Structure 1
Amino acid sequence: MDFDPQSLRFDAQGLIPAIAQDAQSGEVLMMAWMNAEAVARTLETRRVTYWSRSRKSFWVKGETSGHTQELVDFRLDCDRDCLLVLINQVGAACHTNRRSCFYTAVRDDVEVILSEPMA
């Protein structure tokens, strides 16, 4: 069956959450937003493209930082309202220069920082 981008369930702003996961390790690296054009660009170029809500513009991961994301696999959840992009990540995925945006845990009601910024 051919993929129909119109089958995706975008929110009222025309966005869908996209979770980036390292294709080799399975580590969840980040979550960002895509619109229909970002989905199309990602599938066409194999370079992950997001939609920046604050800048109201496309954002090709790594375009300025060099911390690129190469698409390995593109998956839809069962409700078609969330995406999983399996990627090869070069460098940090997080804007704080950490490998993953999910570096803070809550344990016994205390926030614990799990990783330091990459050197």
Structure 2
Amino acid sequence: MADTPPPPCPEARARFLEACHFNADGLIPAIAQQHDTGEVLMMAWMNAEAVAETLATGRVCYFSRSRGALWRKGETSGQQQRLVDLRLDCDGDTILALVDQTGVACHTGRRNCFFMAIREDALVPIAAPLVDPDQLYGHNHA
């Protein structure tokens, strides 16, 4: 892993948050991309608290809609994302997190979440798990 850049000052973090256009549920989509290869790893949601924590700590934090709580990536599995850069799109309604991913990004044990594709008129997985999800979480995940 590369060196972690220092967190931005509180004023810069506040300006970033002010520029974010959260939806009616207080969420904004966030795309995680491996900083050195450009590989798109996953998409998740952030609320203002998750954005603020990510900027302050340098460790990517999302908001879990199913749990209704902050989700610190890798908290259970150890598959963390270290923030390299946090960017906002031109409309202010989507975040791009350039990250340094430890291990796999997907809960299925795959490197990224985008492993289903159409092949010969069928939707099929095009990448096998690199890690058994049971080893990551101690229970089954689809």
Larger radius of gyration: 2
After superposing on structure 2, the runs of 4+ consecutive aligned residues of structure 1 that deviate more than 6 Å are: none
Give the match for residue 93 of structure 2.
81
Deviation (angstroms), 1:17: 0.2
Match of 1:30 among 14, 27, 42: 42
Matched residue pairs, number?
119
Match of 1:116 among 117, 122, 128: 128
Per residue, is there more strand in 1 or in 2?
A: 1
- Specify the code of the residue in structure 1 equivalent to 2:74: G
Give the match for residue 67 of structure 2.
55
Q: Please, which moves more after superposition, 76-85 or 2-11?
A: 2-11
- Structure 2: tracts of 5 or more residues without a match: 1-11, 132-142
Per residue, is there more helix in 1 or in 2?
A: 2
Between the aligned residues of both structures, percent identity stands at: 58
- CA–CA distance in structure 1, aligned partners of residues 29 and 118 of structure 2: 23
Match of 1:11 among 16, 23, 28: 23
- CA–CA distance in structure 2, aligned partners of residues 54 and 111 of structure 1: 26
- CA–CA distance in structure 2, aligned partners of residues 106 and 64 of structure 1: 32
- CA–CA distance in structure 2, aligned partners of residues 40 and 108 of structure 1: 44
Match of 1:100 among 112, 116, 119: 112
- Structure 1: tracts of 5 or more residues without a match: none
Give TM-score scaled by structure 2 length: 0.80
SS in 1 for 2:112: coil
Deviation (angstroms), 1:108: 4.7
Give the match for residue 83 of structure 2.
71
RMSD of aligned residue pairs (Cα, Å): 1.4
- CA–CA distance in structure 2, aligned partners of residues 43 and 109 of structure 1: 43
Give TM-score scaled by structure 1 length: 0.94
